[in-house]
């Protein structure tokens, strides 16, 4: 598999404390890599190191097939776009003028401005000073700036921060369209599990500077242990009956359901007939998966902020 970004042993220490601890990222081409972690896990520091904005204490970074060095950093980054933390802008300039500055620095034609303004749907506000923009508009302007020069790689650090629900949906749709429409590899960080779940094709989970999981989103979901949710006319009797026949039973939160492990169709059929024999009315049998929150909790042992 081709990787757009590869790191080996990437580490950043601040005052002897590991902010990022020997992480080996593998970001596949033309996908959306969700970089997930609670606040303060080291996501922004990692992304800054990928852009050469922060010098790693140890390890190296390979971007678009080349090792990132102070000498070749700018030439490699010409093919990337980034939006780190809050959007950067000159408040006294209009949106169009801000993008024109980026065009100059990236040596991209001015016609790019109209293209990216169209992508982020900011054409009508292009002549307004950015100081008067709403946060959502600033985020979209930041994304437009990152898209100038048709980059092959886009690094977006919490791009939906501070957006209203409509803005979040819009930004999410926009990010999802980038790999398909423009062949861009996107790395997007978030502390929101649901957000990554809706956008990413691959996932990396970082906690306390350590990469604790890295694979496809479907592999993450496979980690989820499937269970059966049971609702009957008598939950306590059901629990007693199933337990005596060797099935581990747990109550759901609020004790409205029972949960048993899903061990195949035959075992399910056997459990149902056992309940019927004991004259217990079966109201519902439902297949469930662990939520990402629960998976994260099992990986990190820490409840995440949502």
Partner 1 sequence: MKAFLTEVKKCKRRRLWLLYLCAFLVAVLWIGSSMIRYPFNEKEAAAGYYMLILNYSLMNLIFLPVILAACASRVCDIETKGDTDKMLLTMQSKTSLFHSKIILNGIYILIFSAAETLSLFLMGQIFHATQPIPYFQLIWFFISTFVVSLILYVMQQILSLLMKNQLMPLFIGLMGTFTGVFSAFFPYTILSSIVPWGYYAVFNPVMMQIGDTFEEVSYFTVPLPWIRICIFLIFGLLFYLAGLKCYLKKEV
Please, are residues 213 and 204 in contact by the beta-carbon 8 Å criterion?
Answer: yes
* Selected range binding partner 1 among 104-112, 197-205, 256-264, 280-288, rule: CB under 8 A: 104-112
Taking the complex as a whole, how short is the minimal distance between the CB of residue 13 and partner 1, in angstroms? 13
Residue closest to 113 by CA, chosen among 135, 132, 93: 93
Check: CB of residue 143 under 8 Å from CB of residue 118.
no
Nearest CA among 195, 212, 196 for reference residue 301: 212
Q: What is the Cα–Cα distance from 48 to 60, expressed in whole angstroms?
A: 13
C-alpha span between 294 and 194 (Å, rounded): 12
Q: Which stretch binds partner 1 (CB under 8 A): 33-41, 83-91, 162-170, 244-252?
A: 83-91
Q: Closer to partner 1 by CB, 107 or 266: give it.
A: 107
Residue 102 lies near partner 1 (rule: CB under 8 A): yes
Q: How far apart are the first and last CA of the chain?
A: 33
**Total residue count of the chain as it appears in this document:** 306
- CB-wise, 74 or 306, nearer to partner 1? 74
Comparison of 78 and 237: residue with beta carbon closer to partner 1: 78
What is the per-residue binding string for partner 1 in 27-66, x denoting contact by CB under 8 A?
Answer: ---------------------x--xxxxx-----------
Nearest alpha carbon to residue 157 among 283, 266, 50: 50
Choose which of 88, 126, 198, 290 interacts with partner 1 (CB under 8 A): 88
Query: CA-to-CA distance for 120 and 140, rounded, in angstroms?
Result: 6
| Nearer to partner 1 among residue 88 and residue 290 (C-beta) | 88
107 binding partner 1? (CB under 8 A) = yes
Q: How far is the CB of 73 from partner 1 (least distance, A)?
A: 8
Q: Which is nearer to partner 1, 92 or 225 (CB)?
A: 92
Q: In what order do the strands lie in the sheet with 185-190?
A: 80-83, 153-157, 185-190, 32-36, 202-207, 210-216
Judged by CB under 8 A, the stretch of 70-78, 172-180, 226-234, 261-269 that binds partner 1 is: 70-78
Let me know: does 296 contact 262? Beta carbons within 8 Å. Answer: no
Tokens of 293: 């929150």
Minimum Å distance from CB 258 to partner 1?
51
- Report in angstroms how near the CB of residue 102 gets to partner 1 at its nearest: 7
- Which residue of 66, 69, 72, 92 would you call a contact of partner 1, by CB under 8 A? 92
Look at residue 156 and give its three-state secondary structure. strand
72 belongs to the binding site for partner 1 (CB under 8 A): no
Residues near partner 1 (CB under 8 A) are 48, 51-55, 74, 77-78, 80, 82, 84-86, 88-93, 97, 100-102, 104-107, 142, 145
């Amino acid at each position: 598999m081709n990787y757009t970004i590869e790191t080996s042993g990437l580490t950043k220490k601040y005052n002897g404390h590991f902010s990022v601890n020997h992480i080996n990222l593998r970001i596949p081409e033309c996908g959306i890599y969700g970089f997930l972690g609670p606040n303060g896990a080291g996501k922004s520091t990692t992304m800054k190191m990928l852009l050469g904005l922060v010098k790693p204490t140890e390890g190296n970074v390979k971007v678009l097939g080349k090792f990132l060095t102070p000498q070749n950093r700018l030439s490699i980054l010409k093919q990337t776009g980034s939006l780190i933390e809050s959007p950067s802008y000159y408040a006294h300039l209009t949106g169009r003028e801000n993008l024109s500055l980026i065009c100059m620095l990236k040596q991209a034609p001015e016609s790019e401005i109209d293209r990216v303004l169209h992508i982020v749907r900011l054409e009508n506000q292009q002549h307004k000073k950015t100081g008067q923009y709403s946060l959502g508009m600033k985020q979209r302007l930041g994304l437009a700036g990152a898209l100038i020069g048709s980059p092959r790689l886009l690094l977006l650090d919490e791009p939906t921060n501070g957006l209203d629900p409509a803005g979040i949906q819009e930004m999410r749709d926009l990010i999802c369209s980038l790999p398909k429409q423009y062949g861009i590899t996107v790395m997007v960080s978030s502390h929101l599990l649901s957000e990554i779940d809706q956008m990413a094709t691959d996932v990396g989970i970082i906690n306390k500077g350590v990469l604790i999981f890295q694979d496809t989103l479907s592999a993450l979901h496979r980690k989820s242990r499937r269970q059966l949710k049971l609702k009957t006319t008598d939950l306590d009797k059901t629990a007693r009956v199933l337990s005596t026949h060797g099935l581990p039973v747990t109550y759901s939160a609020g004790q409205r359901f029972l949960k048993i492990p899903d061990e195949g169709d035959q075992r399910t059929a056997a459990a149902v007939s056992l309940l019927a024999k004991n004259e217990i009315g079966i109201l519902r049998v439902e297949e469930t998966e662990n939520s990402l929150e629960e998976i994260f909790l099992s990986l990190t042992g820490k409840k995440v902020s949502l």
